[in-house]
Amino acid sequence: MRSFDDLVLSCAVTGAIHTPTMSPSLPITPEEIAEEAIAAADAGANVVHVHVRDPETGEPVNDFDLFDEVATRIRKESDAIVQPTTGGEPSSPPRERIGVVPRLAPEMASCNMGSINFGLYPLLERYDEFEHDWEEPYLEGTKDLIFRNTFGDLETILPVFDAHGTKPELECYDVGHLYNAKHLLDRGLLESPLHLQFVLGIHGGIGADAANLTHMHRVAEDLFGDQYSFSVIGAGRNEFPLGLQAISMGGHARVGLEDNLYLRKGELAESNADLVAKLVDLAAEQTGREPASPNQVREFLDLKGPDGTAF
Ligand code: KMH
Ligand code: ZN
């Protein structure tokens, strides 16, 4: 693993997992998403991971005009690294979702390392009724959702990252995805050093427990030696325990309303910034590690810099 004393602290501000009924704090419009990202950066996040939603209904969409508006708004007020998703609205094909890279030419974007079942339907049990008509069928529909990222898709989309100088953050939802990344590296479709995001606790991927994080780290050590860095996403209530574990292992972490709506048991987070501030405090107290500046992260991850983007 590549060592870096300070933290790469990402904040995923809205995502495509949770729906408006689940939290009044979930940002929906481009203005709200940008404001939440800027406040999260002020609280210590150096990378802001963005999805977009229909401004009226909050339904996740792959609208590149909305991505452009969000990225431009953030850039005006923050030097945080803007990392748009290529996971997007998960039922759409990767060859559509990748369109945000040529449109924004971002410094970094997420890249999902394999296909998985992506079950959000268990969330249905927690709510009696929904604000918007689309919410229930959207969640129910994930019973048969395959979040598609085939080898053919990756062979097609990775050169697009390369063409725009966009560093892929490799989303690994299971151990097999680490071997996919190794395969793509061996074939020259990925370049060292890699930045891996271990995603634990998505229904369809690896379970969110400490032993699995340790295992994914051990496998990454075997496959990539000192040519990788890693961060962790713990879905739901696992966000802070796994985040802290990763930080104590020399890794990094992501928080945000995309992955977790609660500040603590039974208490909905009022903002993404509150989630960032909690992790910053825990990390400082427990490990002495603090968030790096965005430019220190740019140097560590060898990013092209904000002037190289199209927003
Ligand atoms: N949804 C997260 C579990 C992406 O946007 O490309 C992982 C993610 C993937 O954020
Ligand atoms: Zn995402």
Residue 57 Cα to ligand 2 middle (Å):
19
Side-chain half-sphere of 80: how many Cα atoms within 13 Å? 33
pTM (2 d.p.): 0.98
Q: Is the CB of 233 under 6 A from ligand 1?
A: yes
Residue 48 Cα to ligand 2 middle (Å):
10
User: Hey, what are 75's tokens?
Assistant: 């850039």
Of 157, 169, 173, 199, best ligand 1 pocket probe by most atoms within 8 Å of the beta carbon = 199
Q: What angle do CA 52, 56, 62 make, to 5 degrees?
A: 25
Q: Is the CB of 110 under 6 A from ligand 1?
A: yes
Cα distances (angstroms) measured from residue 244 to each of 7, 89, 286, 295, 303 = 11, 29, 8, 23, 25
Mean local confidence (pLDDT), 36-51:
98
Q: Which of 258, 200, 198, 208 is nearest to 231 (CA)?
A: 198
Q: Which of 292, 203, 280 is nearest to 240 (CA)?
A: 280
- 167 membership: H or E segment, kind and range: strand 167-172
Contacts of 1 (CB under 8 A, 6+ apart): 217, 220, 221, 226, 228, 229, 230, 250, 251
Nearest-CA residue for atom 8 of ligand 1: 87
Quickly list DSSP for 238-305. GHHHHHHHHHHTT-EEEESTTT--EEETTEE-S-HHHHHHHHHHHHHHHH---BPPHHHHHHHTT---
Q: Is the CB of 202 under 6 A from ligand 1?
A: yes
Assess whether pLDDT exceeds 90 at residue 240.
Answer: yes
At 184-238, the pLDDT tens digits run: 999 999 999 999 999 999 999 999 999 999 999 999 999 999 999 999 999 999 9
| Cβ pair 309, 105 in contact under 8 A | yes
Q: What is the bridge-based pairing of β-strands 60-61 and 52-53?
A: antiparallel
| Cβ pair 274, 30 in contact under 8 A | no
Locate tokens 């080898």: which residue?
151
Assess whether pLDDT exceeds 90 at residue 244.
Answer: yes
Cα Rg for the chain, rounded, in angstroms? 18
- State the pLDDT confidence band at 90, using cuts at 50, 70 and 90: confident
* Portion of the chain with pLDDT greater than 70, in percent: 100
Q: Is the CB of 15 under 6 A from ligand 1?
A: yes
- State the pLDDT confidence band at 281, using cuts at 50, 70 and 90: very high
Q: Which atom of ligand 1 is nearest to the CA of 233?
A: 3
Q: Is the CB of 256 under 6 A from ligand 1?
A: no
Residue 285 Cα to ligand 2 middle (Å):
28
| Cβ pair 68, 311 in contact under 8 A | yes
Ligand minimally distant from the alpha carbon of residue 235: 1
Ligand minimally distant from the alpha carbon of residue 199: 1
- State the pLDDT confidence band at 23, using cuts at 50, 70 and 90: very high
Assess whether pLDDT exceeds 90 at residue 83.
Answer: yes
Q: Is the CB of 85 under 6 A from ligand 1?
A: yes
Q: Is the CB of 171 under 6 A from ligand 1?
A: yes
| Cβ pair 243, 255 in contact under 8 A | yes
Q: Is the CB of 87 under 6 A from ligand 1?
A: yes
At 122-155, the pLDDT tens digits run: 999 999 999 999 999 999 999 999 999 999 999 9
Q: Give the burial class of 71: count Cβ atoms within 10 A of its Cβ; 0-12 exposed, 13-18 middle, 19 or more buried.
A: buried
User: Hey, what are 11's tokens?
Assistant: 């904040």
Cβ neighbours around 101 below 10 Å, total: 24
Ligand minimally distant from the alpha carbon of residue 118: 1
Residue 307 Cα to ligand 2 middle (Å):
24
Q: Give the burial class of 304: count Cβ atoms within 10 A of its Cβ; 0-12 exposed, 13-18 middle, 19 or more buried.
A: middle
Question: What's the confidence (pLDDT) of residue 184?
Answer: 98
Mean local confidence (pLDDT), 77-88:
97
User: Hey, what are 207's tokens?
Assistant: 């379970």
Q: What is the bridge-based pairing of β-strands 252-255 and 262-264?
A: unpaired
